[in-house]
Structure 1
Amino acid sequence: MVNRGPHNSSNHLGARLRPRTLPIGIFVIYTVSFIIISFSVFLYYLRNISGDEPQPLVSVESRSGQVPTLQVRDDQLWDPPFSHGLHPCAKPTAKYKGAQGFGRYLSVKSNGGLNQMRTGIADMVAVAHMMNATLVIPQLDKRSFWKDSSVFSDIFDELHFIESLKGDVRIVKELPKNLETVPRARKHFTLWSGVAYYEEMKRLWNDYQVIHVAKSDSRLANNDLPLDIQRLRCRALYQALRFSPPIETLGKRLVERLRSRGGRYIALHLRYEKDMLSFTGCTYGLTDAESEELRIMRESTNHWKVKNINATEQRTGGFCPLTPKEVGIFLLALGFPTSTQIYIAAGEIYGGNTHLSELSARFPDLIFKESLATPEELKAFSSHASQTAALDYIISVESDVFVPSHSGNMARAVEGHRRFLGHRKTINPDRKGLVEIFDKMETGELVEGPSLSNLVQRTHKSRQGAPRKRHGSLPGVKGRARFRTEESFYENPYPECICGSRRKRVIT
């Protein structure tokens, strides 16, 4: 019989608990396997973190023999951004009361091109409401660059405008005969003014029955206005200011023709027109003779205050419209195939085919009003720039993708309308950033191909019209100058005119 005393038992237990030494080969295999697995996990997460570029990103050669680009899925190219359940909401609140305005009249002379006048008229509807005045159908600008002789009823459905706003403000076609010759207050209402300012302006009713507003654009603040005033602006612009029946009919017919030709299309607001280039002083890519022609035009246009402009500074600051060539490079880099239908929403392109050729070389299917409509259909509109601009507006709002080459009145108005209608896809080029890219292409640091595509796609991932609140003024800007740096209410009417379920998260 063996003695199993405490000492022997302890030694046996110690032997059982002593770790076994692994052979060196197995240890190396375990270590290498752990490193490989860890590195694979790291690459997987890195790929997801840097997932800004559309998938799949495959290098392909275009059929036309152009340089390789990055292929993008159709849904990523064409589908609107996720709208988080947001929807239009322009109805007044329960506390809202319409204005009557009997005995007090507000007459208006709208200034600028089509969309400058449209947004100005919407402002004046809200001003008439705040001042409890009857609004006289506005007079349209006939002295702008286009010298369009159109009257209100030529461009807008006048009866619809009056009837649709009758619960908001009283509107008449003209002043009563007994008031046509009475003295009237002539006012340039202060830019970007709020309710308190227009309450103060009511004192004019003590001495006058008629107030004439010499300019209508930007007479209301973008922000800090009552909810019902903001929604009234939306009802006026998006619902009441419907285009005249001939314009609406032809506009919808042209959209149908675009759809029948190839289904989806881009509406490109190619603001490469003589007036824009002259006004901004942008001469990049032009001949000396063309640059001189634009300078003379700018100096001879009295209401353009800035005469001497540094074209290089304008371009590097991102203040110039993209050239047709730059637009072609941009769209191709985004992944749009060369077969894409592109409707040119613009007037006459400066330099014609000479400057358009480098866009058409990349995207041959360029479509203009003149090629989409018959001469007979366009005949009634041909000498009226605002009416043809209205056709462009309809086609742009209804497009699958809207791309503005410059952030002017048309671009802002179309973007805001598309946001209101459900955040339809609008790609806003980062012109300042793109200039840096184009300059690198000139020096040979970048070429058209996958690297360029990857860079452009990444930098424009968040510039495609997704829901967000309207931007306020730029930091550090003081006084009234800050209003000029705010994002336009009509460019982004969220949150006042775009609502969602309370359960949905807030978009900032």
Structure 2
Amino acid sequence: MLRALGYRSDVHIYVASGEIYGGEDTLASLKALFPNFHTKETLSSQEELAPFLKFSSRMAAIDFIVCEESDAFVANNIGNMAKILAGQRRYFGHKRTIRPNAKQLYPLFMKRGNMSWDAFASQVRTIQKGYMGEPMEITPGRGEFHANPAACICEKTSRNSAIVKSISGNNLEPVTDSGIRKTIGISRPPYPVYTDEEADGSDTEEDPDSSGRGEVIDTEPDDDSAVRQEDPELEEILSD
């Protein structure tokens, strides 16, 4: 598929994988087409890989970093790592991510022996249209969010900048040319804010002398009232 898409034999191929099913026999045809074949084991010494060998997640992280920085990334599966890589490369500026259209490529490869190379390559290029990782190739919001995040970095910012300037102008907030606010202003809140009195729904006017002071509640009853409640006879003597 890569050769049919125009990749020449001098291209460097890095295979991000663990142990490959079939071993060298499976990779023989790929290495014949692309002699510059690399893995993390061929690019690193045993001493360099020693801190990572016992941890599969760390080994996968090495593959992730190399694939993320590559000029082109080809996913041969739809696993989580491939999806996250595609989303990472799409979100932080465009990097080509090729997704093989396996449903249509499979029958074509089955008929490869009955076709000329030119006819085969032409059909591969036709089938792969829309799967070559062009900017804005996938409709925003389609698929998983980590595989197809909002392409805010790929979008044109001139219109967004103009909108921000217009909004900030109404709020008297200075904005830089890039649309970033220099200061943080307090505008009208999206919901009403009530004081304690307004929340209670009271129509009574506030005592001007008590402004700024909270209401003081005496929790201890007067002595007279306590006496009246406890001893009516003593209350009568005191009243005389």
Q: TM-score, normalised by structure 1?
A: 0.30
Given the superposition, is the C-alpha separation of residues 495 and 340 from structure 1 closer, same or farther in structure 2, using an over 3 Å criterion? Answer: closer
Structure-to-structure mapping, 1:69-108, within 5 angstroms: none
RMSD of aligned C-alpha atoms? 1.8
What are the residue-to-residue correspondences of 1:81-480 with 2, within 5 Å? 330-442=1-113, 444=114, 446-447=115-116, 449-465=117-133, 466-467=135-136, 468-470=138-140, 472=142
1:40-79 pair list within 5 angstroms: none
Runs of 4+ in 1 over 3 A off after TM superposition: 495-499
Q: Do 1:420 and 1:493's aligned partners in 2 also have CA atoms closer than 8 Å?
A: yes
| In structure 1, C-alpha distance between the alignment counterparts of 2:3 and 2:145, rounded to whole Å | 31
In the alignment, is the contact (CA less than 8 A) between 2:9 and 2:35 conserved in 1?
Answer: yes
Structure 2 unaligned residues grouped into runs of 5+: 161-240
After TM superposition, give the deviation of residue 471 of structure 1 in Å: 5.0
Amino acid in structure 1 at the alignment position of 2:111: K
Q: Give 1:373 deviation, angstroms.
A: 0.9
Aligned counterparts of 1:499 and 1:340: Cα–Cα separation in 2: 31
Give the number of aligned pairs: 158
Partner SS, residue 457 of structure 1: helix
List runs of 5+ in structure 1 lacking aligned partners: 1-329, 473-486
Question: Percent identical across equivalent pairs?
Answer: 37
Deviations 1:437-473 (A, max 9, x none): 011125x2x24x121111112222321222143354x
Q: Structure 2 CA distance, aligned partners of 1:471 and 1:431? A: 23
CA contact (8 A) 1:343 1:367 kept: yes
Aligned residue identity for 2:148: N
* In 1: Cα distance, 2:153 partner to 2:159 partner: 18
Equivalent residues of 2:91, 2:153 under 8 A apart: yes
SS at match of 1:334: coil
Whole-angstrom CA distance in 1 between matches of 2:80 and 2:153 = 20
Whole-Å Cα distance in 2 between the matches of residues 342 and 495 of structure 1?
Answer: 28
User: C-alpha offsets along residues 103-126 of structure 1, whole Å, 9 cap, x if unaligned?
Assistant: xxxxxxxxxxxxxxxxxxxxxxxx
Deviation at 1:362, TM superposition (A): 1.4
Which deviations, in whole Å up to 9, do the C-alpha atoms of 1:348-382 show, x marking residues without a partner? 11111011111112112110111101111100101
- Preserved contact between residue 333 and residue 456 of structure 1 (Cα < 8 Å): yes
Q: What is the letter of the counterpart of residue 390 of structure 1?
A: A
Equivalent position SS for 1:364: coil
| Counterpart in the other structure of 2:202 | none
Post-superposition offset of 1:499: 4.3
Amino acid at match of 2:15: I
The one-letter code matched in structure 2 to 1:452 is F
| Alignment check: 8 A CA contact 2:16 2:39 kept | yes
8 Å Cα contact 1:469-1:495 kept in structure 2: no
The question of whether the paired residues in 2 share the 8 Å contact of 1:470 and 1:489 is answered with: no
Q: Distance in 1 between matches of 2:7 and 2:154?
A: 30
- Checking the alignment, whether the CA contact within 8 Å between 1:469 and 1:494 is kept in structure 2 is no
- Give the Cα–Cα distance (whole angstroms) in 2 for the partners of residues 438 and 460 of structure 1: 13
Tell me the distance in 1 between the aligned counterparts of 2:36 and 2:153: 36
Offset from partner CA, 1:138-191 (integer Å, 9 cap, x none): xxxxxxxxxxxxxxxxxxxxxxxxxxxxxxxxxxxxxxxxxxxxxxxxxxxxxx
What residue identity is the alignment partner of 2:35?
A: P
| Match of residue 145, structure 2, among 489, 495, 498 | 489
Rg larger in 1 or in 2? Answer: 2
Amino acid at match of 2:139: K
Greater relative CO, 1 or 2 (CA 8 Å, sep 6+): 1
Secondary structure (helix, strand or coil) at the match of 2:53 reads coil
Quote the Cα distance in structure 2 between the aligned partners of 1:346 and 1:409. 14
Q: Deviations over 1:227-284 (max 9, x none)?
A: xxxxxxxxxxxxxxxxxxxxxxxxxxxxxxxxxxxxxxxxxxxxxxxxxxxxxxxxxx
Give the structure-2-normalised TM-score: 0.61
CA distance in 2, matches of 1:347, 1:496: 34
1:291-348 CA distance string (max 9 Å, x none): xxxxxxxxxxxxxxxxxxxxxxxxxxxxxxxxxxxxxxx0111111112110011111
Preserved CA contact (<8 Å) 2:91 2:152 = no
User: Helix, strand or coil for the counterpart of 2:122?
Assistant: helix
CA distance in 1, matches of 2:72, 2:129: 14
Letter in 1 for 2:123: L
> Structure 1, residues 35-92: CA drift from partner, whole Å, max 9, x if none?
xxxxxxxxxxxxxxxxxxxxxxxxxxxxxxxxxxxxxxxxxxxxxxxxxxxxxxxxxx
